[in-house]
Each structure stands twice: as C-alpha cells, then as structure tokens.
Amino acid sequence: MKTKYYKPLPECLTIQNSKVHGLGLFALEKILKETNLGTSHIFHVDFENGYIRTPLGGFVNHSEKPNCEVKTTTEGLDLVTLCDIKKGEELTLKYNLYDPTDE
C-alpha cells in the first residue's frame, strides 16, 4: 500500500540561504511561467492580516521585481510564477498583503 505523506513544498522547490534575506525558496529544476506552485496563505480570521502562511508563504522573499505573484482562491492565496524560473533561482514575491519590514 502506498502511503501519502505531507509535503510542505512542491518537489521542484527547496529552502536554502538567501542573498535577499535569511532563508528563501529556490528552484531545484526549471519551472515554467504561470505554474501554480500551491497555497501560500490560507484565509483564517483569527490570524494577523487574516491569513495563515504555509511554507510557501513563509519562505518566499520580497522583491520589487518579483518572479512570482499570488492569486486568490476560495481557500486563500496560491503562489504562481510570472516567468520561467531557472534551476537554482530564488523565487520572489512583491508583498502587498502586509509590510514585511513592520516589526
């Protein structure tokens, strides 16, 4: 019998040290433009800004020239690529849900 295990990230991504900030999401292989990588934020009224971040949302770093965007779904927000992502490239997002520098 094949057992399904929870995988916090798609097979094409990993978390590693980032030149942008701390840890970030990096491509393990080429990822094509308009690829939906999965849910980055889940709607939940009891959390700050109304969202729970998944590993996708928790490790994607900010950029003024992002290579990903979020798209609204019925459950939350999905991380979608804006262009082809090269193997080894960091995935970035222009934050618009909250100010990540606000401590």
For the chain, counts of helices (H) and of strands (E): 1, 8
Q: How high is the pLDDT of residue 43?
A: 92
Q: How many CB atoms lie within 10 A of CB 70?
A: 22
Q: Give residue 2's pLDDT band: very low, low, confident or very high (50, 70, 90).
A: low
- Share of residues in the chain with pLDDT > 70 (%): 87
Q: How high is the pLDDT of residue 79?
A: 96
Who contacts 95 (Cβ-Cβ below 8 Å, separation ≥6)? 62
Question: Looking at residues 62-74, what average pLDDT do you find?
Answer: 94
Backbone angles phi, psi at 59, to 5 degrees: -115, -5
Q: Give residue 101's pLDDT band: very low, low, confident or very high (50, 70, 90).
A: very low
- Residues 22-42: pLDDT tens digits? 999 999 999 999 999 999 999
pLDDT of 64 above 70: yes
Judged by DSSP in three states, 47 sits in: coil
